[in-house]
């Protein structure tokens, strides 16, 4: 199947400049293509992942993806679509973010048949006069004003700096066309104006018959109409320090039945037959959530590796069953990151006094005694019914944690001060 046809089956094509020629071009040769990301932060989130999944699909078919880390444009800031200017970052911030994003991209794409470049390398060499004479002269202000990303800002105002961002992005495309044999730029739906401006620049300098293409991806909305990737807790990051692999896995496994097949098409490399089989599972046995689990496995493996999937499923099963004693210290850090926690000293103490005086898990000694006698308290997965039992924090988890479960589902993580 031609890569363009595969992307259309997956629902991943919003607009193309010349679909027929792009299909012909990708049949003729293995093309270079690119997507850019500015280092405005030190991690990508799953919203960023969408266009890079497209590049990965091209890579798997033998094409040559190039990623532009915008060390130059990131120092300027693109029009955000919000009614305000971006706050300019220091060059030290840009450099730190660039290094972090580069590491994430190398993790996703490997090192074969793939390049990361920094547009600072060519944009920083432009003098003001060169910029105005060689490029500014080729851009019509009226046309630039009609680009959606600019037009939406005209009422509240836009600085000259952000206004000229589309020229810089166009220069990127021209540079990659000339030096990296790139003939396709991929981006989100909101990037259409900037990408086509780059194609126009290529045609003006290289000739009208230059084969340069644009492909944008639809804005992804959930079945309830809200924007994909946003949760009550904030963005879902690719950085495991910001969003643990367990949290990442849980995000995907909790997707709505109405969305899961769409996400399997977008975010996994499963075949059409495999996804059709999962669609049948959703139709016939939705309560088993087979499709959601496969989605969580595939995306977590792609971003964090196979071991992260094993750990995420181990944590999930342990929390569901209550058998937490076999969790590792790292798994506890992941699984209990957002659960209620308290810090206590590490001395051995009677369970009732410990639950009330030290951890404040129980509101009173009377309630603590009642819960212990009724079997409602589990310490590190073990039910405790003896009111004379002692809690020794050194017994498990290298003396760093005690896991308390009160009732069927209420967990507390007790961190032990050293």
The residue ranges of the chain whose pLDDT is under 50 are: none
* Residue 224 placed within a domain: no
Residue among 236, 193, 237 at smallest CA distance from 216: 193
Strand partners, 65: 33
In this prediction the pTM is 0.88
34 is in an annotated binding site: yes
| Pair 246, 312: CB distance under 8 Å | yes
Same domain, 197 and 296: no
Domain termination site, one of 217, 249, 280: 217
Which 8-state DSSP code applies to residue 339?
S
Domain termination site, one of 295, 322, 349: 322
165 is in an annotated binding site: yes
* Residue 328 placed within a domain: no
Report the half-sphere exposure of 302 (CA within 13 A, side-chain side): 22
Give the C-alpha separation, 347 to 392, whole Å: 7
CATH (domain of 60): 3.40.50.620
169 is in an annotated binding site: yes
Active-site pick, 86, 289, 294, 304: 86
Same domain, 369 and 401: yes
Quote the distance between the C-alpha of residue 114 and its chain's center: 20
* Residue 251 placed within a domain: yes
Residue 326 token pair: 């076999």
Active-site pick, 29, 82, 137, 365: 82
5 is catalytic: no
Same domain, 9 and 104: yes
The string of pLDDT tens digits covering residues 333-371 is 999 988 899 999 888 999 999 999 999 999 999 999 999
Same domain, 212 and 280: no
Residues of the domain holding 261: 230-322
Same domain, 44 and 189: yes
Same domain, 247 and 360: no
Residue among 236, 264, 232, 346 at smallest CA distance from 53: 264
86 is catalytic: yes
* Residue 331 placed within a domain: no
Domain termination site, one of 294, 322, 350: 322
Active-site pick, 190, 200, 239, 358: 190
* Residue 81 placed within a domain: yes
pLDDT at 88: 75
pLDDT at 73: 85
Active-site pick, 96, 147, 211, 230: 230
Cβ neighbours for 227, distance < 8 A, ≥ 6 positions apart = 219, 220, 221
CATH (domain of 278): 1.10.240.10
Q: How many domains does the chain have?
A: 3
45 is catalytic: yes
* Residue 66 placed within a domain: yes
230 is catalytic: yes
Same domain, 213 and 242: no
Cβ neighbours for 386, distance < 8 A, ≥ 6 positions apart = 351, 372
Residue 125 token pair: 């060499």
Same domain, 169 and 243: no
Which 8-state DSSP code applies to residue 357?
I
Same domain, 307 and 354: no
* Residue 194 placed within a domain: yes
| Pair 291, 260: CB distance under 8 Å | yes
Same domain, 200 and 313: no
Task: Supply φ then ψ for residue 412, to 5 degrees.
Answer: -135, 140
Q: How far apart are the first and last CA of the chain?
A: 60
Active-site pick, 16, 26, 38, 40: 40
Scan for tokens 């700096």, then name that residue: 161
Active-site pick, 29, 227, 337, 360: 227
Residue 96 token pair: 């730190």
280 is catalytic: no
Active-site pick, 89, 166, 169, 255: 169
Give the C-alpha separation, 258 to 57, whole Å: 24
Residue 142 token pair: 């009226």
Active-site pick, 8, 45, 57, 115: 45
64 is catalytic: no
Same domain, 175 and 238: no
Same domain, 355 and 293: no
* Residue 296 placed within a domain: yes
Is residue 260 helix, strand or coil?
A: helix
Residue among 327, 338, 350, 351 at smallest CA distance from 401: 327
């Amino acid at each position: 199947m031609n890569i363009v046809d595969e992307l259309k089956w997956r629902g991943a094509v919003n607009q193309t400049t010349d679909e027929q020629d792009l299909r012909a071009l990708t049949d003729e040769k293995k093309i270079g293509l690119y997507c850019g990301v500015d280092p405005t932060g030190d991690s990508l989130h799953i919203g960023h992942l969408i266009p890079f999944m497209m590049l990965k699909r091209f890579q798997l078919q033998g094409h040559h993806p190039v990623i532009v880390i915008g060390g130059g444009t990131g120092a300027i800031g693109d029009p955000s679509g919000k009614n305000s200017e971006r706050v300019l970052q220091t060059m030290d911030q840009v450099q730190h973010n660039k290094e972090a994003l580069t590491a994430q991209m190398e993790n996703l794409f490997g090192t074969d048949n793939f390049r990361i470049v920094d547009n600072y390398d060519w944009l920083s060499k432009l003098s003001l006069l060169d910029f105005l004479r060689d490029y500014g002269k080729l851009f019509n202000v009226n046309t630039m004003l009609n680009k959606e990303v600019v037009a939406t800002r005209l009422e509240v105002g836009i600085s000259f700096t952000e206004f000229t961002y589309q020229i810089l992005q166009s220069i990127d495309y021209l540079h990659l066309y000339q030096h990296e044999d790139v003939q396709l730029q991929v981006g989100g739906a909101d990037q259409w104006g900037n990408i086509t401006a780059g194609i126009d620049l290529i045609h003006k300098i290289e000739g009208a018959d230059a084969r340069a293409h644009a492909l944008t991806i639809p804005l992804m909305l959930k079945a309830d109409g809200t924007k994909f990737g946003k949760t009550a807790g904030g963005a879902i990051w690719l950085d495991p320090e910001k969003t643990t692999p367990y949290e990442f896995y849980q995000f995907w496994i909790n997707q709505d039945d109405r969305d899961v097949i769409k996400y399997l098409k977008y975010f996994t490399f499963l075949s059409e037959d495999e996804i059709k089989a999962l669609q049948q599972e959703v139709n016939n046995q939705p309560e088993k959530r087979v499709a959601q689990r496969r989605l969580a496995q595939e995306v977590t493996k792609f971003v964090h590796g196979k071991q992260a999937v094993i750990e995420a499923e181990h944590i999930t099963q342990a929390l569901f069953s209550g058998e937490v004693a076999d969790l590792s210290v790292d798994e506890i850090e992941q699984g209990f990151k957002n659960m209620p926690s308290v810090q206590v000293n590490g001395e051995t103490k009677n369970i009732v006094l410990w639950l009330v005086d030290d951890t404040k898990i129980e509101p009173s000694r009377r309630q603590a005694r009642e819960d212990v006698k009724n079997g409602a308290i589990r310490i590190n997965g073990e039910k405790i019914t003896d009111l004379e039992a002692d809690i020794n924090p050194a017994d498990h988890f290298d003396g760093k944690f005690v896991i308390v479960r009160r009732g069927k589902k209420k967990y507390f993580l007790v961190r032990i001060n050293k």
